[in-house]
Chain A
Amino acid sequence: RTKQSLAFKMAGADSDDSLYPIAVLIDELRNEDVQLRLNSIKKLSTIALALGVERTRTELLPFLTDTIYDEDEVLLALAEQLGNFTMLVGGPEYVHCLLPPLESLATVEETVVRDKAVESLRKISHEHSPVDLEVHFEPLVKRLASGDWFTSRTSACGLFSVCYPRVSSTVKAEIRQHFRTLCSDDTPMVRRAAASKLGEFAKVLELEYVKSDIISLFTALASDEQDSVRLLAVEAGVSIATLLPQEDLEALVMPTLRQAAEDKSWRVRYMVADKFSDLQKAVGPEITKNDLVPAFQNLLKDCEAEVRAAAANKVKEFCENLPEDSRETIIMTHILPCVKELVSDTNQHVKSALASVIMGLSTILGKDNTIEHLLPLFLAQLKDECPEVRLNIISNLDCVNEVIGIRQLSQSLLPAIVELAEDAKWRVRLAIIEYMPLLAGQLGVEFFDEKLNSLCMAWLVDHVYAIREAATCNLMKLVEKFGAEWAQNTIVPKVLGMANDPNYLHRMTTLFCINALSEVCGQEITTKHMLPVVFKMSNDQVANVRFNVAKSLQKIGPVLDSNCLQTEVKPVLEKLASDQDIDVKYFAQEAISVLSLA
């Protein structure tokens, strides 16, 4: 017996019934106010604990089973709770008591409730003994599988795989039969549910049944009249392929997968492209060479941009996983020509998907090929009209850096970076700022000072707050890279100069920068250079600046020595604490108390 169940036994034994009559608790579960009902359901375990295991089984669960007509949100909470209820009903030997309410919940309309009920059922299925599984659980699955309304049949699909491994062979045969029936269900919703669970079910089946049953179901679902069903079969196909011995793949799975890669619906082809790396791993090197390479070429040249983008996303992974002996030849003769075309695709999502992975090819192809074949493509993408494409190239520079060094690119990089830095969309500017520390590291301090420093400073006075904020954070990361001395010489003077700017927003930016920089710059620079400026700003005529002075002092306090805090900081904060403005007072007092200066 586990510790926990013993504890609950004891709890059950001494629960004081008169103190917690079930009526009161049930009243709470019935409260007219949905929010209160929801709160009570979320604390259902507490209620069960108060009642003890016996009354939870005999009174609470029947009540819950009978009253399952409520708002979906309440039902969702209930479905989740019941998945963790085993101990509260007395442990694994009583776990089947939880099945009736969960069965009802598995039939409701709302998908999230049903899914949660199935999740809980799957969870507690493991707590059933093999006997209970056959006596209680499997009959429930059968009832759901033959329910009138599609919802129960949909839910049943997710339960087969959890009970199959632990039941007798007769029951196994029944389960297989039920699954087969659902795969050809009348409603597409059920067929979709079955298709999405096909791979999972195949994994628990004996290999002979995978070959005899699953393959025919897979073939049927993969040629369903609805593309929403066919596309789910693709994923199942990948799982099935991993289960079969290599020699069976060609005959049993490949014809269907080949057909999926050429499906008339772009959604199915998209799915194939999206799962391509998994598929490649599942079928192994030989089939990859013979079948997947031409299929991949077709997907890269697909007439729908959506499909091309999904395939473009997989270029690096696909190339990486090609068999080593023929990798370079395949890439150079089959893949690269398609990639070259995608660089000038008409659709920006395609180009941008390619840009996010294309740099990864350099590590695979090595220095010479990169310089000769890839570099022109990188450069073309760096000049692309769409900022996202350029950004994706820049954000992946590290891959090229390792192979050919970034210098090869730096002449083209600069204009691209400058243009992105001044893009009209602030999200684009934000994205390039985030790559600045990485770029600075790769390009080196000289290049940075010469070409990029002025950009970083310009962002500090951007008219969008998010950019100014990111620029501040960027400075901190740059100092972490280049050191305090560099900071003192290059950026601190400029930052402090802004303290005299006529625009109060810029004056505040000085304070924000100081907040970010004081720690990385260290005590000396902070005390000598920054602190005097902060003090001076405590007389600013704008209240927002003054209370930010208080906040800054609180922030940089830990960097300063105690003498300086007592003799210099304290008087300034005290003055601010008697400011006319209520917010200035508030933050000054807060700083005094946080820095223990009172």
Chain B
Amino acid sequence: TLTCQQVGYFSGRLQKFNTFSQMRVCVCLCTDVSAQEQPELFLKKLQQCCAVFDFMDTLSDLKMKEYKRSTLNELVDYVTVSRGYLTEQAYPEVVKMVSYNIFRTLPPSDSNEFDPEEDEPTLEASWPHLQLVYEFFIRFLESQEFQPSIAKKYIDQKFVLQLLELFDSEDPRERDYLKTVLHRIYGKFLGLRAFIRKQINNIFLRFVYETEHFNGVAELLEILGSIINGFALPLKAEHKQFLVKVLIPLHTVRSLSLFHAQLAYCIVQFLEKDPALTEPVIGGLLKFWPKTCSQKEVMFLGELEEILDVIEPTQFVKIQDPLFKQISKCVSSPHFQVAERALYYWNNEYIMSLIEENSNVILPIMFTSLYRISKEHWNPAIVALVYNVLKAFMEMNSTLFDELTSTYKSDRQREKKKEKEREELWKRLEDLELKRSLQSDGIIPT
């Protein structure tokens, strides 16, 4: 849908388009005119395609819509096959045509609370044209004749900013094209790289801390995945900050499942670049560990396993204590999928070898939970898995295992005693507070 201003503007354009098309309706760009005339006709056709049609009204301008579609098709073919077409004057016209067509305020979502997991996305009505514009733009960017040094005058920060806003489109087809477009721009315009990263940062921060709504998170993360891959070592502070302050908090968002795979990929990329980041990453995941959403907990456990797959033993030692305290909580989760996902770690050979090396630390952390659920868990499959884990521990370090078994009861009693002491402390503190308030009543001069 168009705003009033746009309508005014376009109706003017439309008229131009109308007369122009009648004049040139059968002149084909590639075949009907001589090579010298082609660049000029190319410019004219670009200008024609600046006219934008209202696709919400399915009956209006049918002929014109069809004509524009075939013109766009011609343009796509032309940039693909022609040589020597890209004159300097063509650049601003291409960018103008693309801008007029793709940059628009995205409409409000049809369903009041659009839930990407539940609802069907609203598809872009103008797709028959929009797709060809994207197609054309990508061919243009990928063309052998394309010169970033000229294009950078037109594909600037403002252009990129508007492009990034479009990633919020509900139409997955559009986001897919945008992904390719942004990827090409990031690849070809070195001067825009830092700016693009910063704006993506801002989008993510707004998403995490303000709106929790942005449709293109997965696509942006996918692009970032390959950007991170190309980071030079040692990593700049800016990139580390991005990891800790933006990527890790992305885990807190309700709709994590929609982009978790891409997010986990980015995280692992970072760790493969610089293993020293393991500690802040795992610390961050533990800080944001889901408290009420079991589905997210399973995702966290999956991501953690991916991280453990690439962890260096020296890094593992640094984080094993808090990490296994969390795993021990997951193992005893009443939600069997969470418990099961955590217990699967013991099927991972590399993780097993790390646990074995550090069994003197990990076994005492895990033992209580394992021992308790082996007797208490409602799900027989979980109990069976726990027996296997206990068995593995027994084989690993039988002395410690026996010791822990024999002290299990007295340890529980000690915990209970401590619990009681805490209650008494707080009771004394509350009595004190009460006494003080009585005192204060007493000493007030009346």
Contact = CB atoms under 8 A, between A and B. Distances in A.
Interface string B1-27: 111111000000000000000000000
Which among B107, B209, B249 has the highest number of chain A CB atoms within 10 Å? B209
A262 B108 CA distance: 17
Which secondary structure characterizes the binding site on chain A?
helix
B202 interface: yes
Interface string B405-446: 000000000000000001001101110110011011001100
B158 interface: yes
Nearest to A265: B105
Contacts of A264: 3, 5-6, 105
A188 interface: yes
Interface string B239-255: 00000010001000000
B440 A10 contact: yes
B245 A188 contact: no
B372 interface: no
Contact of B440 (A4, A47, A192, A228): A4
A50 B429 contact: yes
A109 B3 contact: no
B426 A11 contact: no
Given A20-B429, A46-B433, A225-B161, A150 B108 contact: no
Interface in B1-57: 1-6
B108 A50 contact: no
Interface in A191-231: 192, 225, 227-228
Interface in B74-108: 105, 107-108
B391 interface: no
Interface in B237-294: 245, 249, 287
A50 B432 CA distance: 7
Contacts of B428: 19-20
B206 A228 contact: yes
A304 B109 CA distance: 11
Contacts of B209: 109-111, 189
A306 B444 contact: no
A10 B441 CA distance: 12
B253 to A, nearest CB: 12
B443 A46 contact: no
A267 B1 CA distance: 14
A64 B206 CA distance: 29
Nearest to A111: B209
B210 interface: yes
B244 to A, nearest CB: 10
A325 interface: no
A187 B426 CA distance: 46
A303 B210 contact: no
Contacts of B245: 109, 149
B287 A10 contact: no
B287 A46 contact: no
A251 interface: no
Contacts of B429: 20, 43, 46-47, 49-50
A225 B430 CA distance: 55
A68 to B, nearest CB: 13
A8 B107 CA distance: 59
A187 B432 contact: no
B439 A187 contact: no
B184 interface: no
A24 interface: yes
Given A46-B430, A188-B206, A3 B444 contact: yes
A530 B262 CA distance: 67
A247 interface: no
Which secondary structure characterizes the binding site on chain B?
helix
How large, as a class, is the contact surface on chain B?
35 or more
B205 interface: yes
B325 interface: yes
A304 B5 contact: no
Contact of A303 (B1, B430, B437): B1
Contacts of B437: 7
Interface string A71-114: 10000000000000000000000000000000000000111000
A4 B432 CA distance: 16
B412 to A, nearest CB: 16
Nearest to A225: B161
Contacts of A298: 4
A28 B425 contact: yes
Contacts of B158: 225
Contacts of A385: none
A109 B440 contact: no
Given A109-B249, A111-B210, A225-B158, A6 B426 contact: no
B2 A303 contact: yes
A17 B313 CA distance: 46
A7 B3 contact: no
B443 A7 contact: yes
B293 to A, nearest CB: 15
Contact of B443 (A10, A265, A266): A10
A189 B436 contact: no
Contacts of B433: 46, 49
B206 A32 contact: no
Nearest to A32: B325
B287 A71 contact: yes
B349 to A, nearest CB: 31
Contacts of B249: 109
A188 B202 contact: yes
Contacts of B3: 262, 264, 266, 303
A37 to B, nearest CB: 12
Interface in A264-318: 264-267, 298, 303-306
B105 A11 contact: no
Contacts of B425: 24, 28
Contacts of B5: 262, 264
B443 A303 contact: no
Interface string A1-45: 001101110110000000110001000100010001000000100
A19 B429 CA distance: 10
B1 A7 contact: no
Contacts of B426: 43, 46
Contact of B205 (A46, A150, A266, A349): A150
A235 to B, nearest CB: 16
A306 B432 contact: no
Given A49-B433, A150-B205, A264-B6, A189 B210 contact: yes
Contacts of B210: 111, 189, 192
B1 A6 contact: no
A24 B422 CA distance: 10
Contacts of A43: 426, 429
Contacts of A267: 105
Contacts of B1: 303-304
Contact of B422 (A10, A28, A50): A28
A150 B440 CA distance: 45
B205 A304 contact: no
Contacts of A303: 1-4
Contacts of B107: 266, 304
A10 B430 contact: no
Interface of B: 1-6, 105, 107-108, 112, 158, 161, 202, 205-206, 209-210, 245, 249, 287, 325, 422, 425-426, 428-430, 432-433, 436-437, 439-440, 443-444
Given A10-B443, A192-B210, A267-B105, 18 more contacts: A3-B440, A4-B440, A7-B436, A7-B437, A7-B440, A7-B443, A36-B422, A49-B432, A50-B432, A150-B205, A188-B202, A225-B161, A262-B4, A262-B5, A264-B5, A266-B3, A266-B105, A304-B1
9 contacts: A20-B429, A24-B425, A36-B422, A43-B426, A43-B429, A109-B209, A189-B205, A264-B5, A264-B6
Interface of A: 3-4, 6-8, 10-11, 19-20, 24, 28, 32, 36, 43, 46-47, 49-50, 71, 109-111, 149-150, 187-189, 192, 225, 227-228, 262, 264-267, 298, 303-306, 349
The 5 A-B pairs at the shortest CB distance, nearest first, are namely A7-B440, A265-B105, A306-B108, A111-B209, A11-B436
